[in-house]
Amino acid sequence: MARAPSEELAGAGPVPRPPGLLVLEGVVAGYGGGDVLRGVSFSVPQGSITCVVGPNGAGKSTVLAAISGILRPRRGDIRFDGRSLVGRTPREILGRGVVQVPQNHSLFREMTVRENIEMGAFTLGDRALARRRLEQVMEMFPVARERARDKAGALSGGQQRLIEFARCLMLDPLLVILDEPSMGLDPRTLRTVFATIRMMHDQGRTILLVEQNARAGLRLSTHGVVLENGVVRLSGSGREVLDNPEIGALYLGGGISAGPTGQHPAGPRSGHEGGSP
Amino acid sequence: MGGAVAKAVVDGVLTGGVYALMAAGLTLIFGVMDIINIAQGILVVLGAYLSYVLSQDLGIGLFLGLLITIPSLFVIGVAVEWAFMRRLQERERTALSILVTYGVAIVIEGILELIFGPNYVQLRAWYVNQSFHVLGFYLPYIYVFGFALAVFLLGVLYLILYRSRFGRSVRASLQDRAAARLVGVNVERVSTITFGIGIAVTAAGGMVFGATNAFNANSGYDLISRLLTIVILGGLGSIGGALGAAVFMTVIEGLVAVLWSPVWATLVFYAALVLVLVIKPVGIFGQRAARAQ
Ligand SMILES: Nc1ncnc2c1ncn2[C@@H]1O[C@H](COP(=O)(O)OP(=O)(O)OP(=O)(O)O)[C@@H](O)[C@H]1O
Ligand SMILES: [Mg+2]
């Protein structure tokens, strides 16, 4: 089973393209009122941190929904580790080792922190294994142990994010999908969240990340994908995307968009753009 | 007077327990599915008629008959969910569900009226006719038995919700459907079974209702008005809130009847509903608001 990150990825320079752990090919999908994704193709290399950026409404979350089996693509294929995910249930996709932390807060507010984390292993038949995983996850996230008995709804936004991470690790996933994990966090919490993403990566997991804070997201990442209006505009190494002049101006808070006119494609939520040093 | 007040309170608490059971089903369905089941009232009447047929025609005791009527209503619930509810678009589901379940209610009412005619009936058993003496008044046994049944079934519901794996998936769906899907809960299946359970409780509620009230096919309207008041008062989707609100409302109703006038008592429900909607729309007993969005 694919687990160890491929060594070729370290360092800068031209990035060789290892076969993608996750490969999207011409994915067309929507919610019934026209297509939101109009033929999306990109691949997430084994062991990478791949960051998807793009303006509001580009279809980033829709891509993630298609991968997790929440939304069934109308056309195209999504392959994970060589096998198609299209038509599989969310449960089966979890079983393949693909987990997702969604954009909005997704903890079960009236359950305790501990129950929430346990819900991460809902599909796991083996209860002894679930208990062992819970121990490991509590070890990784001290806040989870400290607040184990508190209602999840009582936690701060940043703490909730970390508990969501803890919950998604209960299945010991191969691919962790994170939809805008930094959203609404103060700079200090944001550093913790990014450090946690690195930790998950260091554990050998491949990360697929959507980031509104494009510069910080791409810096963290080995690979970048720019999604615009339901198609991939550009993809390459994180550096390549960061250094692309057009993209730099459009999404990365380059000189021209720093003006007071707010002509920023990222829209009203660009407030925390470049917020991390 | 003191005896009358005591009787009003005791009656209120005992009937409140039964309303709590019926309202719990209604609020559970709303919590998990965003569906307001207007047919809950007529389903209570259907439950009462089923008990009536079983006891009258087949000589099966009211409580024993529940072993037949509860599963029957569960199946009817699953069928209604399968036939109508799952076809409702997620976005406008609440509004559409009111129309659709109202339609279902009218159909069931029409069928019941065809079969049983317009005459009022009441369930009979020794514990319906006989009373015992407490606190200076006579109380029919059925009130106590009905209350015990409601408490028992609410206990079973509690165990299902809080002590079983299925219950965890129900609570997860109730609190965040999207997140529940992402951890692998089959929300559609949970919804179907929840709808069945939410309706199965009307079998028990209907039996006690039919034993403590004379009813006919039109009795569903008054019932659904009361149940809606209770679940809104309790905070839509909050089971604990529904329990509190049910007992609160039936006690208040009883007190108004003895201290003021029975005419006003029935209005209490609606006055309370309007007041709550004006002052605190999320309900007074539930901390939890109706699902955002
Ligand atoms: N559940 C849904 N039903 C209908 N339309 C939807 C739904 N979710 C998203 N859309 C529409 O699909 C389009 C893409 O939405 P999506 O959430 O994928 O964008 P995004 O790139 O994630 O944007 P953001 O940066 O705001 O999160 C938008 O026009 C949105 O209105
Ligand atoms: Mg999004």
Please name the residue whose Cα sits nearest to atom 25 of ligand 1. Answer: A56
Residue B186: list chain A partners with CB under 8 A.
89, 91
Nearest to B32 by CA among B94, B92, B104, B99: B94
Average pLDDT of span A175-185 = 93
Check residue A232 and give its pLDDT: 95
Spatial distance between the Cα atoms of A101 and A103, rounded to a whole number of angstroms: 7
- pLDDT band (50, 70, 90) for residue B1: low
Q: In 3-state terms, what secondary structure has residue A212?
A: coil
**Whole-number mean pLDDT of chain B?**
91
Beta bridge partner(s), residue A40 = A27
Over residues B23-46, the pLDDT tens digits come to: 999 999 999 999 999 999 999 999
The pLDDT of residue B292: 36
Return phi, psi of residue A49, to 5°.
-110, 110
Looking at residue B151, what is its pLDDT? 95
- Distances from the Cα of B283 to the Cα of A7, A221, A239, A256, B93, angstroms: 58, 47, 54, 51, 21
**Domain annotation covers residue B279:** no
Tokens at A258, concatenated: 């720093």
ipTM tops the 0.90 cut = no
Q: Is residue B67 part of a domain?
A: yes
Residue B239: predicted pLDDT: 87
For CA atoms A114, A115, A120, A123, the dihedral sign is: positive
Please report, for residues A210, A243, A259, the alpha-carbon distance to residue A254 in angstroms, rounded to integers and kept in the order given: 20, 11, 10
Q: Please give the angle made by the CA atoms of B251, B66 and B86, to the nearest 5 degrees.
A: 85
Residue A63 alpha carbon, nearest atom of ligand 1: 18
Name A79's bridge partners. A23, A84
Q: Is the pLDDT of residue B109 over 50?
A: yes
- Residue B93 φ then ψ, to 5°: -60, -45
Asked whether residue B283 is domain-assigned, the answer is no
Per the structure block, which two tokens stand in for A10? 């370290």
**Is residue B275 one of the residues assigned to a domain?**
no
pLDDT grade for A251, boundaries at 50, 70 and 90: low
Atom of ligand 1 nearest to the CA of A64: 18
A61, A89, A109, A110, best to mutate vs chain B, most B CBs in 10 Å: A110
CB contact under 8 A, A108 and B182: no
With a cut of 90, say whether residue B137 has pLDDT above it. no
Domain count of the fold of chain B: 1
Whether the per-residue pLDDT at A12 is higher than 70: the answer is: no
Closest-CA residue to A40 (of A50, A56, A55, A28)? A28
pLDDT of residue A3: 47
pLDDT in tens, B53-100: 999 999 999 999 999 999 999 999 999 999 999 888 877 889 999 999
pLDDT reported for residue B79: 96
Residue B236 phi/psi, 5-degree rounding, is -55, 130
Query: In this structure, is residue B147 part of a structural domain?
Result: yes
List the single range of A32-36, A38-42, B274-278 with lowest mean pLDDT. Answer: B274-278
Contact A109 B175 (CB under 8 A): yes
d(Cα A137, Cα A114) in Å, to the nearest integer?
11
Does residue B251 belong to any structural domain of this protein? no
- Tell me what pLDDT residue A206 has: 97
Range of the domain at B58: 2-223
Neighbours of B154 (CB within 10 A): 17
Please report whether residue B280 resides in a domain. Answer: no
Average pLDDT over residues B107-119: 96
3-state helix, strand, coil split of chain A in percent (to 5) is 40, 25, 40
Q: pTM to 2 decimals? A: 0.85
Q: What is the CA angle A72-A77-A78, rounded to 5?
A: 80
Supply A78's token pair.
């999504």
- The pLDDT tens digits of the residues spanning B44-65 come to 999 999 999 999 999 999 999 9
Please report whether residue B215 resides in a domain. Answer: yes
